[in-house]
Amino acid sequence: MKHQLIILLLLVGLSLAGCKKENDDSVPAQTIPICGLLSLTGDWSSLGITSKAAIEIAVEEVNAEFAANNLPYRFTLSIYDTKLDPALALSGLTGFASGNYRLVIGPQSSAELAAVKHLADSLGLLVVSQGSTASTLAIANDAVFRYCPGDQIEGTAMANTMFSSGKQAIVTLARNDAGNMGLQASVTSHFQTLGGTVVSAGNYATNETDFTTALNAVRTQVVNWSSTYSPSQIGVYLASFDEAVQLFNQAAGDPVLSGVNWYGGDGFIKNAALISDTVAASFAYATNFFSPEFGLPASAQAVWQPLKAEIVSRCGLQPDAFALAAYDALKVMAELVETNNGVPADGSALHSSFFSLSNQHSGATGTVMLNNAGDRANGSFDYWGLDYSNGVYSWVLVGQSQ
């Protein structure tokens, strides 16, 4: 009897030890690396910085969920600062790909995405951009997915808004890159479809610092139209990144340029440098300038509201929906890993699974609906302009797309 009791105690001890080991978070798990290609110190760094915080939060949440559900996976995150430079984006992805990274969030601009697309396609990677809008990258069955509305959706919304506000003639100006030129083209096409008149003042180089020529072209066209249209019927559409601050500085003080309304693209939304530059901000305020932000649905407020607060606490910047789209992308990647017991080795299987899971996901940006090109097929826009109160400029919500 004594021997039987000893054996029983040993068996119970072994059973408990086995249970402890099974639930011990120190047990080695399969490490799955995630690559983030973000502009942290270059143009559009506000999106890069807030996207980084959003992805970090998502990784922490996913790893906690993996552990709680006894799943043998853990995400690790590495971020590469692309400075919004296509060559740097390609260099960063090349380095990550050599380290067996398969899952990529970013890059955020269309020019960068175009630069990395061939490599991503050839290696069967999964690349999810939270900010690229160029319709030239809407290609079916490739390695690239985009979690924000494309330039056709945004261009239609902006054209409708400008036309419904009484604008009859628009001068367009854009930074010479795929995303901003795509927005310029889409706004032009849809505004003309509505019956409006559009003239392009051209494009300026991505490294331009002197906007004299571009502004003279805008000014000339506004003057030419003044005999046909009233100032309230003329607008200027500028598709840009951070360089718009300097452009506004150079436009300030010109009564012709200051006498009509200006509009922007998503690459300049809630720009922190603008509200800290008195001259540029005063020009934006005087011209009732506003930019469109990919809108967040009220139905998802329980998700995005605390998430936005946590991002602000980490990086000090207000995130927009593009940053939250990066969070959603990471969450779907976690579903991909759980569904497939890891990352599918075959590129086609990887892309097919991600596409299917994306279209079943509802997250911080609401329900994710992708079209056949793997791009977001839905979305409305919030319009953000400047307020001036007690000597301080700030970004405020001034309207919404119809």
pLDDT for 225-254, tens place per residue? 999 999 999 999 999 999 999 999 999 999
Question: What domains can you pick out in the chain, each with its CATH number?
Answer: 30-149+298-370 (3.40.50.2300), 152-294+382-400 (3.40.50.2300)
Q: Helix, strand or coil for residue 88?
A: helix
DSSP 295: P
pLDDT, average across residues 270-283: 96
Q: Which two tokens stand for residue 132?
A: 């690229």
Residue 148 near residue 131, CB atoms below 8 Å? yes
| Backbone dihedral angles phi then psi of residue 372, each to the nearest 5 degrees | -65, -20
Token pair of 114 as six digits: 């175009």
| Mean pLDDT calculated for residue range 77-102 | 97
| 235 phi/psi in degrees, rounded to 5 | -135, 165
**Would strands 103-105 and 126-129 be described as parallel, antiparallel, or unpaired?**
parallel
**Per-residue pLDDT for 12 more than 50?**
no
What are the b/e assignments for 91-116, b being 16+ CB within 10 Å?
ebbeebbeeebbbbbbbbbbbbbbbb
Span 371-391, pLDDT tens digits: 999 999 988 999 999 999 999
Q: Residue 274: in which H helix or E strand, if any?
A: helix 272-275
Q: Which residues are CB-neighbours of 325 under 8 A, at least 6 positions away?
A: 130, 131, 147, 148, 294, 364, 365, 376
pLDDT digits (tens, 9 = 90+) for 138-186: 999 999 999 999 999 999 999 999 999 999 999 999 999 999 999 999 9
Q: Is 313 exposed, middle or buried (0-12, 13-18, 19+ CB in 10 A)?
A: exposed
